[in-house]
Amino acid sequence: MITYLYWAVVMSFALGALWLGAARLGKPFPGLVAAVLILLAGWLAYTFHLENVFVKRWGGVMSLTVPPGQHHLGATWKEDHLWVESFDPSTNTCEFREYSKGNLLRGRVLIKNCNPLMLQAGGP
């Protein structure tokens, strides 16, 4: 919900700049440039900072896909970074992936000879 509110505010600022330039000042080109710059700044702020913050702190929306052939095991937050654990049965490897602000820091940890599903399959 907070994500939709954010984009509504960004769009209203962009439309306001367009209206101010075209209708009030009689110069549509500067209003159009200002609207495009506001939309670009809003997109950059959301992509490189706000997405993870919205999801963690205010109940935003974020979608991730488990890689093909892997099983999702868990997810946890470390500050504003999301770590997702999955298991690949073909290589017997557990993998932790980091989803950080803007996906600039893409941490990846591989644990070899990891079989977390063995206990569920009737192991000791």
Can you tell me the distance from the alpha carbon of 106 to that of 123, in angstroms, rounded to the nearest whole number? Answer: 34
**Contact criterion met (CB below 8 Å) for 55 and 62:** yes
Which residue range is the domain that position 24 belongs to? 2-58
For residues 49 and 82, state if they share a domain: no
pLDDT digits over 90-113, tens only? 888 898 888 877 666 677 888 898
For residues 70 and 54, state if they share a domain: no
pTM: 0.63
Helix (H) or strand (E) holding 72: strand 71-78
Can you tell me the distance from the alpha carbon of 86 to that of 64, in angstroms, rounded to the nearest whole number? Answer: 12
Can you tell me the distance from the alpha carbon of 17 to that of 31, in angstroms, rounded to the nearest whole number? Answer: 5
For residues 19 and 68, state if they share a domain: no
pLDDT digits over 64-85, tens only? 888 898 888 999 888 878 888 9
Query: What is each CA distance from 47 to 9, 37, 56, 74, 101, in whole angstroms?
Result: 16, 15, 15, 24, 7
For residues 34 and 80, state if they share a domain: no
Quick one: pLDDT band at residue 124, thresholds 50, 70, 90? very low
